[in-house]
Structure 1
């Protein structure tokens, strides 16, 4: 356990918002995590679990203790049909992907270069380029902070949905993800259904080629949070019913759209925003990224208010033009903890 010398959260949130916390503590195992949380509870001090701060927007200074989850470790067990992985929640996600590639373990390559920690993957059911985390999840180990006991949830118990899970709802408070179990099958087939990946011939596809291609795309079209504050996709891609989608596609036949298993249609939020003429649009120190309108950036010492004002403006413009309400993917953090993001931008 390490009590950091700074209370400044600016380097610990990818939006680079100049914000602070009462205390910042690094924890490296379950015992440390439980001890710090219990002490804070006894003193009626709010606590917030944070990995790399890649999907959060702090609205104000945090009045409690920020716990930086640094639980590490990647254990790999090879079986006849699959590899089973047991991974610490504090491991950096892309390090895990690259470790798998270096050991010739395929499966995670489409999730290349997603920022953040492994512990955030089940919370948001992260996904990209036709693949979602839940496809590889075997279990999630959770520490019940009230009792200090460990719970193991299987995939069904995690209640995964589109950028959603039980960890955003029933288990949001008083629980912390400490380790994640993966099962990566040896019977690998490439997923080449998204964008430029369609140009790769299945016979020529390798996990490394897919990984390298996606990294190239991300590095050329997405802002580097080290250089430009951002939290990746700010809004979720909306999913609408087939009837509404048919009407929209009649007027906009080139609109990107993706059929969902239940018959609904997923639209590209970035395309909707772009159609409203908002690519590169600025409010205060915040802007939509000029290469990808779905990403809101801190281009000039933006405040939280700048970003929420811009998000509210975007949401209203998209609603007016398409009668579609965008929902934030980013988590909003108030002075006492997480708050309803939609309520902040309506």
Structure 2
């Protein structure tokens, strides 16, 4: 069939970075976004559950998916330059890290702190991906999507996307929008964000006194590879837990009891805490139950040492959540989508 392929009873083991051996009733891989309406009108697709999957770097399957998994495999980048900046439209199926490296090669600034994040461009706005003090929302001009409710293509501007910390309209209305392209506005020059999580120290180690965006990207690559396990080597979904945001009173009490706790005041008066510190201090860094574990390199990362099942990985994640709450009174939340969680 032109523009897409369909596979029944498909394995998803190679389509999620935690390497969970789940299956889907139907796997649809789409290469032409204009074929989406035709694909979605198939009775087997139209009458069942639908899950859109990029590289599977932000999902944990705790059971088989009874429905259609839609994998976006669209490609393409279009640039409209207007001097000091450019509007760049990118197909949803493009790899995020490849796109970031392309922008740096073209002399654009802004995405350097977000290098080496796994996943696709289409998935980036859903989670409002962020790292090292930056979030993708700052650079998203608009998102093109198929609205499954209105059954038409819609263009949603940045405000309509309702971005927040690891959140967006797309997470709040799951299943409604299938992102087909993202339009970014990137400058040629901007103030670099180097004041977060060791970037300045890494630049100093590199001997860089006057950094350009590609220097910051190189520093972030050094930091990420030194702390985070490679999904190609050991199954993981990157940071599994969100940094919790608590009220000022609880944060003040925790800082009084634990002065070394990293904390970042937010504009609304709340305070973001380091989930990694909480997990490590509660004693979970490096913990292993069978093949399910918490990385000994970074306490935020849930890892599959071999053949851990989805339920085994989720059970360990829940144990961490309960343990951190018991010690600190702080409720952690998973960052990935957990399929089948009750």
User: Is the Cα contact below 8 Å between 1:59 and 1:333 reproduced in 2?
Assistant: yes
Structure-to-structure mapping, 1:96-175, within 5 angstroms: 96-170=99-173, 172-175=174-177
Bigger shift: residues 50-59 or 146-155: 146-155
Per the alignment, do residues 245 and 284 of structure 1 end up closer, same or farther by CA in structure 2, a change over 3 Å counting? same
Pairwise CA distance, 1:148? 3.9
Query: In structure 1, what is the Cα distance between the partners aligned to 2:45 and 2:283?
Result: 51
User: For each residue in 1:43-82, what CA deviation from the matched residue of structure 2 results, as whole angstroms up to 9, or x when unmatched?
Assistant: 6232221111110011111122211101211111111331
Partner of 2:240: 234
Query: In structure 2, what is the Cα distance between the partners aligned to 1:263 and 1:185?
Result: 31
Structure-to-structure mapping, 1:182-193, within 5 angstroms: 182-193=184-195
For normalisation by structure 2, the TM-score amounts to 0.94
User: Is the Cα contact below 8 Å between 1:40 and 1:47 reproduced in 2?
Assistant: no
RMSD, matched Cα: 1.7
Per the alignment, do residues 40 and 66 of structure 1 end up closer, same or farther by CA in structure 2, a change over 3 Å counting? farther
Partner of 1:44: 47
Query: In structure 1, what is the Cα distance between the partners aligned to 2:148 and 2:10?
Result: 23
Pairwise CA distance, 1:146? 4.5
Pairwise CA distance, 1:260? 1.4
Pairwise CA distance, 1:40? 4.0
Partner of 2:19: 16
User: For each residue in 1:259-309, what CA deviation from the matched residue of structure 2 results, as whole angstroms up to 9, or x when unmatched?
Assistant: 212222111101100001111111232000001111000013101111111
Partner of 1:337: none
Per the alignment, do residues 88 and 42 of structure 1 end up closer, same or farther by CA in structure 2, a change over 3 Å counting? closer
Q: 1:82 aligns with which of 72, 80, 85?
A: 85
User: For each residue in 1:234-277, what CA deviation from the matched residue of structure 2 results, as whole angstroms up to 9, or x when unmatched?
Assistant: 11100112221111111111111112122221111011000011
Pairwise CA distance, 1:174? 3.3
For normalisation by structure 1, the TM-score amounts to 0.92
User: Is the Cα contact below 8 Å between 2:8 and 2:24 reproduced in 1?
Assistant: no
Q: 1:315 aligns with which of 291, 299, 321?
A: 321
Query: In structure 1, what is the Cα distance between the partners aligned to 2:13 and 2:316?
Result: 20
User: Is the Cα contact below 8 Å between 2:248 and 2:270 reproduced in 1?
Assistant: yes
Pairwise CA distance, 1:185? 2.2
Per the alignment, do residues 36 and 206 of structure 1 end up closer, same or farther by CA in structure 2, a change over 3 Å counting? same
Which aligned runs of 4 or more in structure 1 are off by greater than 6 angstroms?
A: none
Query: In structure 1, what is the Cα distance between the partners aligned to 2:218 and 2:8?
Result: 38
- Confirm or deny that 1:293 pairs with 2:299: yes
Q: Secondary structure at the match of 1:87?
A: strand
Query: In structure 1, what is the Cα distance between the partners aligned to 2:324 and 2:271?
Result: 17
User: Is the Cα contact below 8 Å between 1:73 and 1:87 reproduced in 2?
Assistant: yes
Pairwise CA distance, 1:213? 1.0
Pairwise CA distance, 1:2? 2.2
Query: In structure 2, what is the Cα distance between the partners aligned to 1:229 and 1:275?
Result: 24
- Confirm or deny that 1:273 pairs with 2:276: no
Pairwise CA distance, 1:33? 2.1
Q: 1:257 aligns with which of 253, 263, 266?
A: 263
Pairwise CA distance, 1:25? 1.8
